[in-house]
Amino acid sequence: MIPAQFDYVRPAALHEALQILVDRQGDAKILSGGYSLLPLLKLRLASPALLVDIRDIDGLDDIVETTNGLRIGGRATHRQIHENPVVIAGYPLLVDAAGGIGDPQVRNWGTIGGSCAHADPSSDWPAVLIATNASIVLHSVSGSRTVPARGFFLDTFQTAIEPTELLTEVIIPRAPRPSGAAYAKLERRAGDFATVGVAAQLSLGADGRISAAGIGLTAVAEAPFAATGAEAALVGHEPNEATFQAAGIAAAAESRPGTDSHGPIEYKRAMVKEMVVRALRSAATRAQAQR
Ligand SMILES: Cc1cc2nc3c(=O)[nH]c(=O)nc-3n(C[C@H](O)[C@H](O)[C@H](O)COP(=O)(O)OP(=O)(O)OC[C@H]3O[C@@H](n4cnc5c(N)ncnc54)[C@H](O)[C@@H]3O)c2cc1C
């Protein structure tokens, strides 16, 4: 189908884009990579009167490490994240996740901000941001606010973003050493959305036990979520197979998958357990390497 008619603007500055969102409240949509929005327009599931293309806004695709952690601009593409030297050196979880998103075309165009704002329940980034206790920075004409990833993804395609806000960056805190994190994605074919996606992060204490854990799950509930039962099953325990199995069982019990073309509920729960265990094994190996 052909999209309904719309106007198009390409502001050069953040404040211009934010003002447009206020002036055109309700009938303007931000255009980032367009890989989710354009299909919606073509299917006429969305018909905004104005698209606000943010590609010319300086600094929106920066990726920098600061004392607060890694700051990734909302307009950074999956490919920019995947190929960034700082990310490769210190954030292997992000490399895992970015490299498994769609195909090269999707990774060239799709952005982390677009992915989070769109909030497809099968997207990969939300699980990563939840597991790492990341924050999401939103700007509007009246200033900025920071929302924890754990409180950002409210429901299917629903987030904490207000219509006049723009997602400018995500901040991923640097985990204390020794820590390790990994992403495990089950997909039917390479490039598909996840059947199950698991982001896991572990920190180890001086006694070698797990001192902190983050588990984010995608595609197995109405929205990505923190598997807090699985996290509780990890903290205070040795990072061994028995602990990982217990966390996998807890995560499977917490998940709320539906039956669809990816498989029935029982299969998905079994796959949650398996993918949690796999992500934890990799995360623990990476953590041990930092000791
Ligand atoms: C064939 C295909 C395969 C894919 N496979 C995967 C996959 O395996 N895993 C995965 O996670 N994703 C996958 N995706 C999704 C893709 O990776 C993009 O992340 C996603 O399409 C949204 O990012 P975008 O930059 O294209 O956003 P857009 O399509 O431009 O925008 C999406 C929505 O977010 C809003 N928005 C965009 N940027 C902002 C911002 N900065 N602030 C506020 N609101 C904003 C827009 O207004 C719109 O409502 C796939 C997409 C396709 C088409």
Q: What is the pLDDT of residue 33?
A: 98
Instruction: Look at the chain and report how many structural domains it folds into.
Output: 3
Do residues 71 and 34 share a domain?
no
Which residue, judged by its Cα, is nearest atom 46 of ligand 1?
30
Q: What is the CATH number of the domain that holds 213?
A: 3.30.390.50
Q: What is the share, in percent, of the chain residues with pLDDT greater than 90?
A: 97
Look at residue 224 and tell me if it is in a domain: yes
Q: Which of 110, 124, 101, 131 is nearest to 214 (CA)?
A: 131
Its pTM stands at: 0.97
Q: Is 30 in the pocket of ligand 1 (CB under 6 A)?
A: yes
| CA of 109 relative to ligand 1 center, distance in Å | 9
* Mean of all residue pLDDT scores within the chain: 97
Q: pLDDT tens-digit profile of 23-69?
A: 998 899 999 999 999 999 999 999 999 999 999 999 999 999 999 89
Q: Give the domain range for residue 31.
A: 7-53
Distance (Å, whole) CA 142 – CA 164? 10
Look at residue 58 and tell me if it is in a domain: no
Label residue 192 by pLDDT band (50, 70, 90).
very high
Q: Tell me, yes or no, whether 118 and 33 share the same domain.
A: no
The set of residues, in sequence order, having a beta carbon less than 8 Å from that of 80 and lying 6+ positions away, is 61, 63
Q: Ligand 1 centroid to 193 CA: how many Å?
A: 12
- Are 122 and 193 within 8 A, CB to CB? yes
Ligand 1 pocket member 124 (CB < 6 A): yes
Instruction: Assess whether 93 and 21 both reside in one domain.
Output: no
Q: How many residues does the chain have?
A: 291
Q: Which residue's CA is minimally distant from atom 11 of ligand 1? A: 123
C-alpha pair distances (Å), 135 with each of 61, 197, 244: 16, 20, 27
Question: Which residues make beta-bridge pairs with 1?
Answer: none
**How far apart are the CA of 112 and the centre of ligand 1, in A?**
7
pLDDT at residue 188, as a whole number? 93
Structure tokens at 121: 């329940």
